[in-house]
Amino acid sequence: MPTSAADFRSTEGHGARNRGERLVVVANPNAGGGRAGRQRDVIERAVDRAFEQAEVRWTTGPRHATELAREAAEQGADIVAALGGDGTCNEVVNGLMGAEAPINPRCIFATIPFGTGGDLVRTLQMPRSLSEALWVVSTGTTVHVDVGEVILESGPRHWFINVSGAGANADVCVRANRSSKTFGGTLTFLGAILGTVREFEPRRTTWRWRLGEEWNETTLDCLGSFVANAHYCGAGLHVGKGGSMADGRFEVTLLPRLSLRETLAALAHARTGNLHKIPRSIVVQANEVVMDGDLVVETDGEPRVAGPARWRMAPAALQVRAGWSTPPVAL
pTM: predicted TM-score of the whole model, two decimal places: 0.87
Give me the pLDDT at residue 219, please: 97
Compute the C-alpha angle 240/246/251, nearest 5°. 25
Helices (H), 21-63: 35-38, 40-50
> Which pLDDT band, with edges at 50, 70 and 90, does 171 fall under?
confident
What pLDDT digit, counting tens, does each position of 177-225 carry?
A: 666 555 555 656 666 666 676 677 888 999 999 999 999 999 999 998 9
Give me the pLDDT at residue 229, please: 96
Most confident of 1-5, 150-154, 178-182, 235-239: 150-154
Considering the chain, what is the average pLDDT of its residues? 87
CA–CA distance, 47 with 23 (Å, rounded to integer): 9
Query: Is a pLDDT exceeding 90 seen at residue 97?
Result: yes
Query: Is a pLDDT exceeding 60 seen at residue 2?
Result: no
- Strand-pairing partners, residue 205, are 220
More confident residue, 120 or 114: 120
Sequence-ordered list of residues with C-beta below 8 angstroms from that of 302, at least 6 positions apart, any chain: 87, 90, 158, 173, 177
CA–CA distance, 23 with 55 (Å, rounded to integer): 7
Query: Is a pLDDT exceeding 60 seen at residue 110?
Result: yes
What pLDDT digit, counting tens, does each position of 73-91 carry?
A: 999 999 999 999 899 999 9
CA–CA distance, 166 with 6 (Å, rounded to integer): 48
CA–CA distance, 26 with 28 (Å, rounded to integer): 7
Average pLDDT of the residues in 223-250: 90
Q: What is the CATH number that goes with domain 150-315?
A: 2.60.200.40
Query: Is a pLDDT exceeding 50 seen at residue 62?
Result: yes
Q: Domain spanning 5-139: which superfamily?
A: Probable inorganic polyphosphate/atp-NAD kinase; domain 1 (3.40.50.10330)
CA–CA distance, 192 with 206 (Å, rounded to integer): 26
* Gyration radius of the chain's alpha carbons: 20
Q: Where in the chain is the domain with CATH 2.60.200.40?
A: 150-315
CA–CA distance, 171 with 296 (Å, rounded to integer): 8
Give me the pLDDT at residue 1, please: 45
Average pLDDT of the residues in 267-292: 94
Q: Where in the chain is the domain with CATH 3.40.50.10330?
A: 5-139
Give me the pLDDT at residue 331, please: 40
CA–CA distance, 185 with 270 (Å, rounded to integer): 16
